[in-house]
Amino acid sequence: MTEPIRYADRPEWSDVTPIEQYENTNPLAPIFYTNEYKDATNYFRGIVKIGEKSGRVLELTEHIIRLNPAHYTAWQYRYETLIAIDSDLGKELKLMDELAITHLKTYQVWHHRRLLMLKIRKPFPELEFIARTFKVDAKNYHTWSYRQWLLAYFNDDELWGAELDFVEDLLYADIRNNSAWHHRFFTVFQSGVHQGEEDRERVLKREMIYVKQSISLVPNNASAWNYLRGILEHNSTPYSKMITFVEPYTLSMDEQTADLVDLDNPPPSKGAHLPCALAIEFLADIYEVQGGESMLKATELWKSLGNEHDVARKKYWEYRIREGLRALQA
């Protein structure tokens, strides 16, 4: 692979005085940058010092960003340069398409994209682009954060219109995608009331059916149980309202008694791995809130978790037992 020509050897950069990175005489832990990176950043510091904003600055910052996509100063100076010279932001966005896919987990890529979108103000193609990135990584925090910002900032009913279908497709592909579950909660409960969602009682019933059916299909899915908890807490509904639904999931398959399918409380699917530790924890939380003699039921469930169903967190369940018994004696 041919080494790139150093900026120090390029005649068109002879008017810029490079500035080396300051370090103590004997740094405790010197960073061994490549010669290419040191050369580029030395000239970048020189550019920043004189305040130049030009086409060659865009070339230089792109070079640095490709070497180190987390170089936030290069990103910021690049954006300032784009605005100062009235550069084509659409062209810049296409470059970001490439860099975002390559560096999905780099925050600066998405922050720069957000700044561009504040100027371009065309959010619909962005949703399509984000959907493509999810084919690479459907759980990337920065991508989901950007999508939520995009939806909330532009807050267009048409923009929100297909969001629930979009997230359902992702959950159909991977029912354990916690990021998609979180986004569903954000879409339904945390971003205002969207067109067609005005009947909140209907929406609540729909979401309860959806999450219960999801748990029925895959009982040992922490994301779905957390979503159920989120719905109940958001609507100030006591966990105890779920006891009829939860109890079958705390039993083994041999102990299941339901012959008829209850649409409001779907039973565990055949072949489910039961008892479900998440259901046992949920039921224990119900008993804990009830207090009194029910606290003893809670401690028994915590014991079963620590000794059999969730041994990895044994110390935690022992702590819950001690706290429960202490509360009972108070």
Residue 135 annotated to the active site: no
Per the listing, tokens 């999801």 go with 214
* CA dist., res. 252 & res. 272, Å (int): 9
Enter the tokens of residue 48. 């920043």
Annotate the chain with three-state secondary structure. CCCCCCHHHCHHHCCCCCCCCCCCCCCCCCCCCCHHHHHHHHHHHHHHHHCCCCHHHHHHHHHHHHHCCCCHHHHHHHHHHHHHCCCCHHHHHHHHHHHHHHCCCCHHHHHHHHHHHHHHCCHHHHHHHHHHHCCCCCCCHHHHHHHHHHHHHHCCHHHHCCHHHHHHHHHHHCCCCHHHHHHHHHHHHCCCCCCCCCCHHHHHHHHHHHHHHHHHHCCCCHHHHHHHHHHHHHCCCCHHHHHHHHHHHHCCHHHCCCCCCCCCCCCCCCCCCCCCHHHHHHHHHHHHHHCCCHHHHHHHHHHHHHHHHCHHHHHHHHHHHHHHHHHHHC
Cα-trace Rg, the chain: 28
Q: Active site residue: 49, 91, 94, 105, which one? A: 105
List, by residue number, the catalytic residues.
Answer: 105
